[in-house]
């Protein structure tokens, strides 16, 4: 574009110079003085050759005027070309702006399309991860995992004869364990006509499905949600001959602090209470509030059923009875941990 402009300007300057030379024709039609000492003689057809006019170089006035008109037309055309050339950047600028606007529009549309595609991809990925997570949780925490893992344990059970004696005699019985130590007794007491109280929280739903599939009946409720109706349902089932399984510090702790629910049901049913705790020689301990403990495959698992705490009578104090059961559970936990640690 720069070379084209330079050539055009130089051509216009040359035409203007020649035009200027013709405009300097003197009143005498004998000659025209051109720039840079170029002499163009104008002669009539009847001019004498001896008057210094070269016939070979003669140019008539009409011819000169034709040349001048031609040059004027050329200059006008050149000037129009220059004017058009001068406006070309503006047209080019407009074209560039229009193109940029189109590109921006297309780019914005592409961005919106890309955002939509990313949103769809994110939704699909999140759905896939939820499915994988649910499947993994079902695999790890499901009843098959409990049964397979439990089959590898080397169980050492102490005191279970107290439980079987009361079950055979259909005496009311409430078994209590800690939230983080429920896995050992859950595996051992399966398919034994036991009803378990499971919380209505999200983790309780998973536990409920697992224990139901390995032979428990469940009642949903806890100290924080649905406790009253669950307690009434448990009382009915214990009075009907089922043994009750309770989690003492659930559903959210504090750890190793017994809630009054188990003691309340035992007092209402005139039932004995048996504390249950396990410890393992090798286990995974979760970083949760309850320090949930899962014995590793082929670990030695020491499962202790404590001495029965007899029903204290209709006038018993609920708070004192709760403290008594809590103390028995903690004593049994320390015994189990000492036994597993000595191996």
Q: What is the pLDDT of residues 305-339, one digit of tens each?
A: 999 999 999 999 999 999 999 999 999 999 999 99
- Which is more confident, 170 or 109? 170
Any domain includes 135 = no
Inside any domain, residue 35: yes
Task: Say if 114 falls within a structural domain.
Answer: no
pLDDT of residue 304: 98
* Averaged pLDDT, 212-239: 90
Query: Which residue range(s) make up the domain with 30?
Result: 2-101
Six-digit token pair at 306?
């404590």
In-domain check, residue 122: no
Do 201 and 335 lie in one domain? The reply is yes
> Is the dihedral angle over the CA atoms 20, 24, 29, 30 positive or is it negative?
negative
- The dihedral over CA atoms of 153, 156, 159, 162, expressed in degrees to the nearest 10, equals 50
Q: What is the pLDDT of residues 243-272, one digit of tens each?
A: 999 999 978 889 999 999 999 999 999 999
Residue 118 counted as domain residue: no
Predicted confidence (pLDDT) per residue in 137-182, tens digit: 554 557 888 999 999 999 999 999 999 999 999 999 999 999 999 9
Rg of the chain's alpha carbons, rounded to an integer?
A: 53
Total domains in the chain come to 2
Same domain, 157 and 291: yes
What count of other Cβ atoms lies within 10 Å of the Cβ of residue 199? Answer: 24
Does 133 reside within a domain?
Answer: no
The token pair at 246 is 């309770």
Average pLDDT of the residues in 38-65: 45
One domain for residues 94 and 223: no
Domain limit, last residue, from 70, 101, 132: 101
Better-predicted residue by pLDDT, 35 or 340: 340
List the one residue out of 161, 164, 145, 163 whose CA is nearest residue 153.
145
Structure tokens at 207: 């536990």
């Amino acid at each position: 574009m720069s070379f084209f402009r330079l050539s055009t300007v130089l051509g216009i300057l040359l035409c203007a110079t020649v035009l200027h030379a013709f405009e300097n024709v003197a009143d005498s039609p004998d000659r025209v003085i051109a720039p840079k000492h170029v002499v163009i003689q104008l002669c009539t057809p009847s001019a004498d050759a001896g008057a210094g006019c070269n016939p070979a170089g003669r140019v008539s006035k009409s011819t000169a005027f034709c040349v001048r008109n031609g040059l004027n037309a050329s200059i006008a055309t050149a000037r129009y070309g220059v004017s058009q050339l001068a406006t070309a950047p503006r047209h080019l600028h407009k074209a560039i702006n229009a193109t940029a606007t189109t590109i921006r529009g297309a780019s914005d549309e592409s961005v919106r399309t890309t955002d939509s595609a990313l949103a769809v991809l994110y939704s699909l990925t999140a759905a896939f991860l939820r499915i994988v997570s649910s499947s993994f949780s079902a695999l790890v925490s499901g009843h098959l995992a409990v049964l397979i893992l439990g089959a590898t344990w080397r169980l050492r059970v102490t005191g279970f004869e107290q439980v079987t004696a009361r079950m055979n005699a259909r005496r009311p019985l409430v078994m209590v364990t800690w939230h983080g130590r429920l896995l050992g007794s859950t595996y051992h007491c399966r398919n034994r006509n036991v009803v378990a109280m499971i919380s209505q929280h999200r983790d309780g739903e998973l536990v409920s499905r697992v224990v139901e599939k390995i032979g428990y009946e469940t009642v949903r409720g806890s100290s924080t949600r649905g406790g009253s109706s669950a307690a009434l349902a448990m009382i009915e089932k214990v009075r009907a001959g089922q043994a009750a399984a309770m989690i003492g510090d659930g559903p959210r702790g504090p750890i190793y602090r017994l809630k009054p629910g188990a003691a309340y049901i035992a007092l209402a049913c005139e039932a004995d209470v048996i504390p249950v705790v396990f410890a393992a020689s090798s286990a995974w301990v979760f970083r949760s509030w309850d320090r949930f403990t899962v014995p590793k495959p082929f670990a030695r698992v020491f499962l202790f059923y404590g001495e029965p705490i007899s029903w204290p009578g209709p006038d018993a104090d609920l708070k004192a009875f709760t403290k008594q059961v809590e103390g028995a559970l903690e004593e049994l936990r320390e015994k189990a941990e000492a036994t597993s640690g000595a191996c």
